[in-house]
Amino acid sequence: MKIEILKNVLEVNDNLANDIREKSDKSKTLVLNMMSSPGSGKTSILEKLLPKLLFNGIKTGIIEGDITTTRDADRIIGNEIPVVQINTEKFGGDCHLGSEVVKPALDQLHYEKLDLVIIENVGNLVCPAEFDTGADKNIVVISVTEGEDKPLKYPLMFRVCELSVINKVDLLPFLNFDMEQLTANIRQINPNMEIIKISAQTDENVDALLKWIQNNLKN
Amino acid sequence: MHELSIAQNIAKIVHQEYLKGNFQSDIQVVHFSAGRMNAIIPESLLLNFNIVKRNYNEMKQAELIIAEKEIIIKCNVCLREYVIQEPVFYCQNCGSSNISILQGKEMYVEDFEL
């Protein structure tokens, strides 16, 4: 006997993500989900960005996702910005943040009182692309040391994101790296992708990222 | 590694539907389909499902059958539809970037058999 189901495997996750967006629309809180490979510089970008956000009076909270350890949260927390760390270890060592773990973290931040929440997802270009966190916009960070072919290898990631931040451009003089090829590869996957090139190390062009965030704030 | 979460979701959905039916016999087969955009590794999904299913009495014998769905895009300008093999999200006919993905990024529990 065959019993038809036809149910979306991610339905529960997607529904909860939509609830999060409904609430953040009401409170006019912009929720960003930042994804990348491990070591692309997500935390370093936040370290440069957070003082600028504070200086501009943008009330910000951070959600840090890691499989284990609180290393990233420890680096951020000196900045007088509320941080909630999610370790996915107790959820089975997940390689991504699902909306079911993001929701309690957002509540803990009292995100309805904030202008901006940045979720630093688990370093991984496959799984986080799949699971809607409830963020308004997805950002992918790619560093120039990773090679030009990443967008072609991880197309879903580059489809679900609206902004590519290309990091570590200060290393370009030392690398055999073809920037035009990378941007062409990104646009092949997602022709409407916005691209910002920065160096979190030297602070080069981090202001452009700040400006992008300011332009997307809901109030 | 997302295969673990996906396996857990599959088992949960099948279990909920099984409970609704008041069935007497155990589940033999579960059909699951995933689009190529999802980058699922079938071997890994099977391995994870075979561990997760042990939590459910009716599913202990169940075999998971995975079907891969091709990526189909539609151009919103010239209205052509294509199956694509490579991730090129431009219309191959008119060059427009205004395209929709009709199929290839969804994951469904299709049915189960007793």
User: Among residues B87, B90, B91, B92, which one has the least CA distance to residue B104?
Assistant: B87
- Whether A5 sits inside 8 A of B89 (CB atoms) is no
Residue B1 — pLDDT band, cuts 50, 70, 90?
low
* pLDDT at residue A91 greater than cutoff 80: no
What's the confidence (pLDDT) of residue A59? 94
**CB pair distance less than 8 Å for B111 and A96:** no
- pLDDT on residue A71: 66
CA distance linking residue A102 with residue A107, whole number of Å: 9
A12 interaction partners in chain B (CB closer than 8 Å): 9
CB–CB of A77/A46 below 8 Å? no
Distance from CA of B106 to the nearest CA of A (A): 7
Total CB pairs under 8 A between chain A and B: 94
Give residue-wise pLDDT tens across range B26-74: 999 999 999 998 888 999 999 999 999 999 999 999 999 999 999 999 9
Give the total residue count for chain B: 114
**Considering only CB atoms, which chain B residues are within 8 Å of A94?**
1-2, 4-5
How large is the ipTM?
0.81
Which pLDDT band holds residue B87 (cuts at 50, 70, 90)? confident
Q: Are B34 and B66 a contacting pair, CB within 8 Å?
A: yes
- Relative orientation angle of helices A206-216 and A42-55, to the nearest 10 degrees: 60
pLDDT of A92 > 70? The answer is no
For A148-202, the pLDDT digits (tens) are 999 999 999 999 999 999 999 999 999 999 999 999 999 999 989 999 999 999 9
| Domain range annotation of chain A | 2-216
Distance from CA of A39 to the nearest CA of B (A): 18
Out of 3.30.110.60, 3.40.640.10, 3.40.50.300, 3.40.50.720, select the CATH number for domain A2-216: 3.40.50.300
Distance in angstroms (rounded) separating the CA atoms of residues A182 and A185: 5
- Report chain A residues whose CB lies below 8 A from the CB of B39: 126, 154, 156
pLDDT confidence tier of residue A126, bands split at 50, 70 and 90:
confident
pLDDT value, residue A142? 97
**Set of chain A residues whose Cβ sits within 8 Å of the Cβ of B110:** 4-6
Question: Could B89 and A159 be called an inter-chain contact, meaning their C-beta atoms sit closer than 8 Å?
Answer: yes
Q: Average pLDDT over chain A, rounded to whole? A: 91
